[in-house]
Amino acid sequence: MGKLFSLVFFVLLQLSCATTMELQGLSLVDAPQQPRVELLKGQRVSAIKDLSPEFSWQLPNHPEFYKQTAYQIQILPANIHFSAMLPSDKLWDSGKILDEKSLARSISGYEFGVGQSYQWRVRVWTQDSQQNLYQSAWSTPQLFSISSTPSKLASRYDVESTAVKPVIITKLPSGRYFIDFGKVAFGYLQLELTTDKAGEIDVHFAERGVADGAEQGIISKLHKGSSVRYYKVPLNVSQNSDVYAVHPPKDQRNTKPEVAIAIPGRFGRVAPFRFVEIDGKDIEISNIQASLVKLHYPFDDNQSDFVSSNSTLDAIWQLCKYTMKATSFAGVYVDGDRERIPYEADAYINQLSHYYVDDEFSLARHSHEYLMQNPTWPTEWKQHSVMMAWTDWMYTGDTESLAQFYHQLKAEKTLEQFEGDLGLLSTYPKRNREKEMGDIVDWPPSERDNYDLVPINTVVNAFYYLNLKQMADIAGVLGLEQEQAYYQHKAQSVYQAFNQHFFNEATGLYIDGIGSKHSAVHANILPLAVGLVPKDKVPKIINFIKQKGMAVSVYFAQYLMEALYMHKQADYALSLLTSTEIRSWYNMIRQGSTITMEAWDDQFKPNQDWNHAWGAVPGNIIGRYLLGVQPLVAGFTSFKIAPQPSNLTYVAGTVPSIRGPIRVEIEQKLGAEFTLVVSVPGNARAQIILPIALDKKIEQVWVNGKKAEFTHANGGVELEKIGAGRHTVKVLYQ
């Protein structure tokens, strides 16, 4: 009877609070969405490593969520439901906290137990742009458990498996059975067969094949002399119907225990494959059922989309998106199948492109932290660790990993200890595996445009300048004001020394290094991409880069595309994105790969992987520059939408963010009219910068049907920041 009275009292108290809310003039609105513990979303997450976890949530893209003014968090043990809790239950309640922040909120006064399970929920108070006030409903509770081995390192999900059915099973004239799963994935084969007798059959599976199953598609023939994956596995079968798991043989190249990432034992050995042929030899086979059991990190296919008036561009974006999912099989970013080793430069491009196809941030952070503890040898790869740390913070708004690794970044990754009398790094020749150092410029070496490797290297020092700027930002956000000023000063000093010693006044280009007379395209691309080129020097360098074409590897294409878009070369950049030449992303599709490749073509790297995520550069370039979505303030508190669609008459895409999806849709009548429709998540601001049509004068800009004030800035038409909701911007040209 006492418990019943308590429950009635509690319900009446809640109703009283609701009545009070209405009397205060507040309106009830939708609940916060996508609750996260640390960086992990989902109804239930496990193995949270941090004993002081941080909580985040998203607010819908409705005008009522223009600004969050307060929030309230409640926590319960997992075995009690919020809907049925009693006043005597162990509820932790933050109370109403006046705070605009909705990311990485820590709590105090609650001790989480090792190995224990909990649930939490949040509600918020908001206002719209007219200062009207609202209170949200409670979010759906998220359940989580604390790891039995807590630490300060990133929490992450377990790798999962998905069974994929074939798109084709057919019998070839040879009597073999041909199976096509449509796309390459890392996994193993599950077969269900009926056989007329017991014995041994051969199962061939590989990345390369002929999609229609024609006789000439016998995959063993297609892989002779190629590094593209092919395996023949003998399989003992019993008479009548049975089910078999067919795994590849052990590959010494990617199973070295001291360096290769181990696949969880419950999955067995895996390999990348799409095509399967079954040779029954003298055994009659019938009733074949098959699945490709693929491994991948949790991936939400609905978080992003892209379509345009160029079908080639669409296919390339889809290739890059699928690459992010398919190559996540190891639970950490790896270089592909040949070694299955994380490398910093590979991981950085993987990180950027992953952010633009899924709102998943834990895999990038884990990969970065793994590499901080397991660094690789190239000089420039070490510099990418600073870039990964800075990018993690900008896209999550969470400083926890920065604080954890700041001093190691400072001591080991800026490479400041290699700075000489000129204020520039001298790092070559220092390739010593024991000391883990060596300039690489580009990979493979044949992609270096005859770069002249000298002790004081232009590419290394361009990255040094970028790292110093990023370290200044990192120090600032951590409250280290003196160190922030120190890095700002050093960055400015490197800027001056760089242009004094590397720029050739006679040619108007940057040389490869001090003492060199050669100007490789890399030595000119990277200064453009990191902001080292004075404005008056830009045109000649851009012309030089254009004359070279795609004279870099799939890795360095990241910086080529950045340099072009940053300097408003959208037309030329789009021509490279959609090129069908041999050095193009389309060539990967034409060759038959469904995951981006390690090199443009086998002829440039005969031992390349056909499953290498650093080839997925368009996955981030399309979102960051063509659609133009980039954070201005960490965690997308403020972000820009600065599209550069070139001559595309239609572009539409959804870009994930830690605050919620950002939708961008563009239609244009070239030189006459430009229409942009955007969707802004709650509690965020968007700075819109529209491209200017050449040789045209703007007649008027309209925002949501009203004439809008605008300024010419940042190389485009800049509007005042807009908040949550769906907005239509139209530009008319004279």
Domains of the chain from N-terminus onward: 2-146 (2.60.40.10), 160-296 (2.60.120.260), 309-374+554-626 (no CATH), 377-382+398-548 (1.50.10.10), 638-733 (2.60.420.10)
**Cα separations (Å) of 692 from 649, 672, 702, 734?**
15, 11, 15, 12
pLDDT category of residue 218 using cuts at 50, 70 and 90? low
Q: What is the dihedral of CA 107, 113, 119, 121, to 10 degrees?
A: -10
Q: What is the dihedral of CA 394, 397, 400, 404, to 10 degrees?
A: 10
Total residues belonging to the chain: 734
pLDDT category of residue 18 using cuts at 50, 70 and 90? very low
Give me the percent of the chain exceeding a pLDDT of 90: 83
Which range, 2-16, 217-231, 409-423, has the best average confidence (pLDDT)?
409-423
pLDDT of 509 higher than 70:
yes
- What is the average pLDDT value for the chain, to the nearest integer? 92
> For 75-89, 189-203, 338-352, 386-400, which range has the lowest pLDDT when averaged over its residues?
75-89
Nearest to 445 by CA among 291, 356, 556, 334: 556
For residues 171 and 33, what is the distance between their CA atoms, to the nearest angstrom?
A: 49
> For 32-46, 73-87, 306-320, which range has the lowest pLDDT when averaged over its residues?
73-87
> What local confidence, expressed as pLDDT, does residue 103 receive?
98
Q: What is the dihedral of CA 17, 21, 22, 28, to 10 degrees?
A: -100
For residues 103 and 463, what is the distance between their CA atoms, to the nearest angstrom?
A: 30
CB 513 within 8 A of CB 454: yes
CB-based contacts of 599: which residues, under 8 Å, 6+ apart? 444, 447, 553, 554, 605, 608, 615
pLDDT category of residue 25 using cuts at 50, 70 and 90? low
pLDDT category of residue 20 using cuts at 50, 70 and 90? very low
Q: Would you give the distance in Å from CA 257 to the centre of its chain?
A: 27
> What local confidence, expressed as pLDDT, does residue 695 receive?
66
- Residue 635 burial (10 A CB sphere; 0-12, 13-18, 19+): buried
> Distance between terminal CA atoms of the chain?
79
> What local confidence, expressed as pLDDT, does residue 712 receive?
81
CB 319 within 8 A of CB 528: no
pLDDT of 188 higher than 70:
yes
Strands (E), 409-520: 503-504, 509-510
Nearest to 192 by CA among 175, 174, 208, 179: 179
CB 72 within 8 A of CB 57: no
